[in-house]
Amino acid sequence: MVQLQIELPTIQNWNCHNCSGCCKQHGIFITEEEQRRIETQGWEASGELPQGIEPIVKVGRKKVRLAQQPDGACIFLDDQGLCRIHGKFGEAAKPLACRIYPYAFHPKGDGITVSLRFSCPSVTQNLGKSLVRQKKDIREIAELVVPKNREETPPPKLTGQTQLDWEETLEIVNRLDLSMEDEATPITLKLLRTLFWLNLIEQTNYQNIRGERLAELLDLLVEATPAEVPSIPEAVAPAKVALMQFRLLAGQYARKDTFASMDTSFRGRFRQLKAAARLSSGKGALPQLHPDLGEVSVSALEGSFGPVPDEAEELLTRYFRVKIQGMHFCGPAYYDTSLIEGFQALVLTYPITLWLARWRAVTQKRTSITPEDIREALQIVDHQHGYSQVFGTWSSKKRVTTIAHSGNLEKLLTWYAQ
């Protein structure tokens, strides 16, 4: 049998540190086979699970998920923060979704590339062994989830209806990664420069620029960009309408939405509508949408909070590089979005992370952000990015392209990085 070609991010370490965060944040959908397996494990008769909750819940007509405790934790999470299924029957007895997290596997040419979810604190802190040293174990998990017809998966479109082949698409992905590589350049400037050359690529007519000519054009653009964008320009306020769209998107990222914590009552929905009205108007107090983000006024998140702390640069650079190398921003990994639109959505997570970091700082009565604020905010953002159904809707995608095509993405970057 041909071995699965698997590419790992060389800059990332990870091992599970049993923080149990993933078992408290995610609703775990299971297959029929997993349902049968769990039912034969005899949990209900054992009396080991919290009483009064059916361990498996039907969602609609076809889906099934594990039940959650009142605080949102999985029904199988014990008081020590450990998985009861794992403890009693071993790792392989758990649902596949639990075994995969925080990995994400995506097609890349004739192989598979691996990304990680930065909602996991061990990922953001780069804790554990190098992924490269764990290749055998990661390949085993990948083989459980990668579809047999993966080699037939076409690359994501470049933009609109423009379809390049895998080789050409990967030329662009490699240049995106290269643009993020330099550790001496601040992340804000790296993102501004990348957007600059990608905007030019978006406007290019590809009828005659294919193959080697595309590679030459990319080299030329990437090399010339630092002279065109030599430094971070002075912050200019984004247009009001862009700020409104931005806050609405940011509010969606801030929502803590495990099934157990979702309030679908009339009161709950009214609260959500009120929050949306305040986010869009930019006036009044934001309600508490997340345990770390308290009731603060929208205007308190504006103004200067100081530059992005140097200590956060490594994390932010690693985040973008892992997402780029792992193709975790476009195509099947991001609501079938084209490469350019997906990258714009990924870049938008930067000012959103900084905005949520400000929100966390203001909640704690501070007027500057710390590396910890950024780390916590990034965990919130990446819990949702590419996974919350909201961001795959037409209106959310449209908000991102409207912000990007009006020149406001660059403004948001500099506005919230000051």
**Sites of contact with ligand SF4 (CB under 6 A):** 23, 28, 66, 74, 76-77, 83, 85-86, 94-95, 98
Least CB distance to ligand SF4 at residue 137 (A):
17
Show contacts of 232-237: CB within 8 Å, 24+ apart. 232/186, 232/188, 232/189, 232/192, 232/414, 232/417, 233/192, 233/414, 234/414, 235/411, 235/414, 235/415, 235/417, 235/418, 236/411, 236/414, 236/415, 237/411, 237/415
Nearer to ligand SF4, 65 or 175 (CB): 65
Least CB distance to ligand SF4 at residue 61 (A):
23
Read off the tokens for 112: 């598979």
Least CB distance to ligand SF4 at residue 85 (A):
5
Least CB distance to ligand SF4 at residue 106 (A):
22
Q: What are phi and psi of 100, to 5 degrees?
A: -75, -45
The rounded distance, in Å, linking the Cα atoms of 388 and 384 is: 5
The rounded distance, in Å, linking the Cα atoms of 73 and 80 is: 12
Nearer to ligand SF4, 24 or 108 (CB): 24
Least CB distance to ligand SF4 at residue 390 (A):
22
Residue with tokens 């704690």: 364
Cα-trace Rg, the chain: 22
Judge whether 43 and 55 are in contact, CB under 8 Å: yes
Q: Could you give the count of Cα atoms lying within 13 Å of 293 in the half-sphere of its Cβ?
A: 29
Nearer to ligand SF4, 98 or 330 (CB): 98
H helical segments located in 40-116: 43-46, 84-89, 96-100
Nearer to ligand SF4, 100 or 178 (CB): 100
Q: Is 207 exposed, middle or buried (0-12, 13-18, 19+ CB in 10 A)?
A: exposed
Nearer to ligand SF4, 74 or 413 (CB): 74
Q: Could you give the count of Cα atoms lying within 13 Å of 192 in the half-sphere of its Cβ?
A: 23
Nearer to ligand SF4, 98 or 417 (CB): 98
Least CB distance to ligand SF4 at residue 77 (A):
4
Nearer to ligand SF4, 23 or 131 (CB): 23
The rounded distance, in Å, linking the Cα atoms of 189 and 172 is: 19
Least CB distance to ligand SF4 at residue 75 (A):
7
